[in-house]
Amino acid sequence: MYAQLVQSEGGKSRAEMTPREIAFQERIDRGEKIEPKEWMPEGYRKTLIRQMGQHAHSEIVGQLPEGNWITRAPTLERKAILLAKVQDEAGHGLYLYSAAETLGVSRDELMEMLHSGKMKYSSIFNYPTLTWADMGAVGWLVDGAAIMNQVPLQRTSYGPYSRAMIRICKEESFHQRQGYDIMMKMCAGTPEQKAMAQDALNRFWYPSLMMFGPSDKDSVHSAQSMAWKIKMNTNDELRQKFVDQTVPQAKYLGLTVPDENLRWNEEKGGHDFSEPDWAEFFEVIAGNGPCNAERLGARVKAWDDGAWFRDGLMAHAGKQEERRAALRLAAE
Amino acid sequence: MSSEWPLWEIFIRGQHGLNHRHVGSLHAPDAEMAIRNARDVYTRRNEGVSIWAVKSNDIVASSPSEKGPLFEPSNSKVYRHPTFFDIPDEVGHM
Amino acid sequence: MTTRTQDPAAEPSAHRDAFVDWLQRMGDNCLILGHRASEWCGHSPALEEDIALANQALDLIGQCQFWLGLAAEVEGKGRTADQIAYLRDAGAFRNALLVERPNVDFGQTLMRQFLFDAWHMEILRKLKSSSDPRVAEIAAKAEKEVAYHLERSADLVIRLGDGSAESRARMEKALKALFPYTGELFTDDAVDQAMAAAGIAPLPSSLKAGWDSTVSAVLEEATLAHPGEVWQHKGGKRGVHSEHLGYILAEMQFLQRAYPGAVW
């Protein structure tokens, strides 16, 4: 997901917990929200910073693959819709950074950690967007996968995170639809457009499945995060749900999901499907994906090139403050 | 890093005359820019007609550890709620 | 936007041609400046600025759709706003040279925006009382958006001019680089004369005094020296552009050109 492989701290059994930790866990079990200045285990705080930070980074790095096509959008309306969508992602990054800041880390510190490679962002944004159909595929599949994770996260135990997710989910409802709308137009268009749509599905299918993270049996951190209600579903649950939801949508478009093993399994009431290439996934996470260097490079450049602007405005605000103070002094 | 823009809490009053409501936070060099940034960040979907911005550091909050003494006493004042009183159906809406 | 449909044949053709040309000037300015602003999406110095600039780009693209939509209607040849935007070559574009100047840095981007916004505000104010109700209607809607653009760009020019030593130096450089592209906004030609005679639009030269006073006041507060009378480039509004426009169009029009007639 937008927060893959988030290392969870803690993982104590009940017997190992202090009375304070037990009381904390009981509050979460009762469905109470944890608010910024309340006591929380250090592991809870650190895990949340990691997860929300990664989530926020994914939103702003996620602007880049789609931003790539804003200046090439095929009509004025498509241009406006895409720009509005990518702008929303900046907003979502902003909401999530703000929520993370309530835990005692500043946005600039989080940015530095992204730039130095200490913090990650979702693997999906290291794949290139090569044609206009990719704008459709990203909206349909990538936003579709993200929504699947974000909807349950509205109920997460940390108040500011939960509230940010509620706002994000509300705003994001149009994102997946606009992607599917692009796909419908492409599939109803010329043979070349339809081929472009199929190609986009071929390239984005497995990277989308990777978004949910490795299988639960390999995911050591899931249990603690789930107990804390920082993670609401297992990776495999969400991946299965995503496949089951997406397959009929692909069929409606007349597109073929690139998986020979894909078939309906009556017994489990869901599809059987092939695993993505996890070796590729770990390479992409480690920085060796097709666009890692470009994506991170673009973020670092934006930050470094913008330093004079941010500092200049602070300098002006400082001067104004001094002027006001001098006026107050003169008036006394 | 030393010159990080301060954090502001943003409150917006919507179209329907309700109170200003906390909608989130943002960074801005000063108050004037906080208001403008809030316009761009938090009213993209026609959400508001009035904006308040308060420096996050200036917010005074009740202490979470005093939650019990502060809020629990009102639990027992059930007579403050209209459902405490049974009014016969024949009386009609009240 | 509801537009009153008029019988195109009822308009004398010379007047109609001038009107279409003038509408493209309005629309192309918005289109090209919106394009430049949208290039920043995902790359701005702060998230708040990224979002604000995208809002402005969205406003400009919306205004472009109205102006080019009206151009298509007045022209009466069955073209759409999209066809006008995506299927003309650079020589048929009518935007001022100022808006196609490259972004360079955030300082030049903001200075370009401010110099344009100050002009945009002047002309929209006048256009609200255009003899053509369709023009007046578009102007009334755009004016509200542009009032905010101007408030924002003017304020940022002031803050950065009167900011740090580096921000001041960058804004000085931006002003020096861009000021020679502002003169074109105030020159009158035959198209402008025809529009003024029909009461559709003001003469560009009549907007100069208002623009000057806005610009002078802001530069003074920004502690930036007014460049004064300097050599002015021109050509954009009659289709003689800089090399930059060709690249903008190569990017913008790529899909429409590579897949003619496809529906997106």
Residue-wise pLDDT tens digits, C1-60: 444 445 545 567 889 999 999 999 999 999 999 999 999 999 999 999 999 999 999 999
Locate A79 and state its tokens. Answer: 């241009």
Domains by residue range for chain C, with CATH: 13-258 (1.20.1260.10)
User: pLDDT per residue over A32-50, tens digit each?
Assistant: 999 998 999 999 999 999 9
Would you call B36 and C51 a contact, using CB atoms and an 8 Å cutoff?
A: no
- Interhelix angle for A235-253 vs A159-187, to 10°? 20
Quick one: average pLDDT of C111-134? Answer: 98
User: pLDDT per residue over C19-35, tens digit each?
Assistant: 999 999 999 999 999 99
pLDDT of residue A220: 63
pLDDT higher at A4 or A178: A178
At position C211, the amino acid (one-letter code) is W
pTM of the predicted model, to two decimals?
A: 0.94
By Cβ distance, the residue of B1, B4, B64 closest to A38 is B64
Quick one: average pLDDT of C138-146? Answer: 98
Question: What is the residue-level pLDDT of chain B in tens, covering all 94 positions?
Answer: 457 999 999 999 988 778 999 999 999 999 999 999 999 999 988 878 899 999 999 998 887 767 777 788 887 888 888 888 888 899 888 8
pLDDT of A319 higher than 50 = yes
For an interface test with C, the pick among A60, A75, A111 (most C C-beta atoms closer than 10 Å) comes out as A75
With CA atoms as reference, the chain A residue closest to B57 would be A102
User: pLDDT per residue over C158-174, tens digit each?
Assistant: 999 999 999 999 999 99
B81 touches chain A (CB under 8 A): no
pLDDT of residue C177: 98
Q: Give the separation between CA B42 and CA B39, rounded to whole angstroms.
A: 6
Would you call A90 and C50 a contact, using CB atoms and an 8 Å cutoff?
A: yes
Quick one: average pLDDT of A246-271? Answer: 98
Asked if A165 contacts A154 with a C-beta cutoff of 8 angstroms, the reply is yes
- DSSP annotation of B5 reads P
Please choose, from the candidates C28, C167, C64, C29, the residue with its C-alpha nearest in 3D space to the C-alpha of residue C110: C167
Residues of B in contact with A310 (CB under 8 A): 3, 5
Q: Which helix (H) or strand (E) holds B51?
A: strand B50-55
Q: Could you say which architecture CATH assigns to the domain B2-88?
A: Roll (3.10)
Would you call C55 and B27 a contact, using CB atoms and an 8 Å cutoff?
A: no
With CA atoms as reference, the chain A residue closest to B67 would be A38
At position C237, the amino acid (one-letter code) is K
Average pLDDT, chain A: 95
B62 touches chain A (CB under 8 A): no
Residues of A in contact with C262 (CB under 8 A): 74, 189-190, 192-193
pLDDT of residue B71: 81
Would you call C54 and A86 a contact, using CB atoms and an 8 Å cutoff?
A: yes
- DSSP annotation of C205 reads G
Residues of A in contact with C57 (CB under 8 A): 83
Task: Look at residue C211 and give its three-state secondary structure.
Answer: helix
Taking 3-state DSSP, the helix, strand and coil percentages for chain B, each rounded to the nearest 5, stand at 40, 20, 40
Full DSSP string of C38-96: HTTTTTSSSHHHHHHHHHHHHHHHHHHHHHHHHHHHHHTSS--HHHHHHS--GGG----
Out of A191-205, A286-300, B55-69, C188-202, least confident range: B55-69
User: What are the residue boundaries of the structural domains of chain B, listed by start?
Assistant: 2-88
pLDDT of residue C6: 52
B59 touches chain A (CB under 8 A): no
User: pLDDT per residue over A212-227, tens digit each?
Assistant: 999 877 666 778 899 9
pLDDT of residue A37: 87
C256 touches chain A (CB under 8 A): yes
Q: Give the separation between CA B28 and CA B53, rounded to whole angstroms.
A: 10
Q: Give the separation between CA C121 and CA C154, rounded to whole angstroms.
A: 12
pLDDT of residue B1: 40
Locate A217 and state its tokens. Answer: 């049996």
C-alpha C15: how far from chain center: 23
Sequence-distant contacts of A277-282: CB under 8 A, at least 24 apart: A277/A206, A278/A210, A278/A214, A280/A210, A281/A123, A281/A210, A281/A214
- Interhelix angle for C106-127 vs C47-75, to 10°? 40
Quick one: average pLDDT of A137-165? Answer: 96
Would you call B44 and C51 a contact, using CB atoms and an 8 Å cutoff?
A: yes
With CA atoms as reference, the chain A residue closest to C260 would be A190
Task: Look at residue B25 and give its three-state secondary structure.
Answer: strand
Would you call C50 and A190 a contact, using CB atoms and an 8 Å cutoff?
A: no
Quick one: average pLDDT of A1-11? Answer: 73
Tell me the ipTM for this assembly. Answer: 0.94
What separation in angstroms does the CA of C57 have from each of A331, B48, C250?
A: 44, 21, 19
Out of A202-206, B79-83, C196-200, least confident range: B79-83
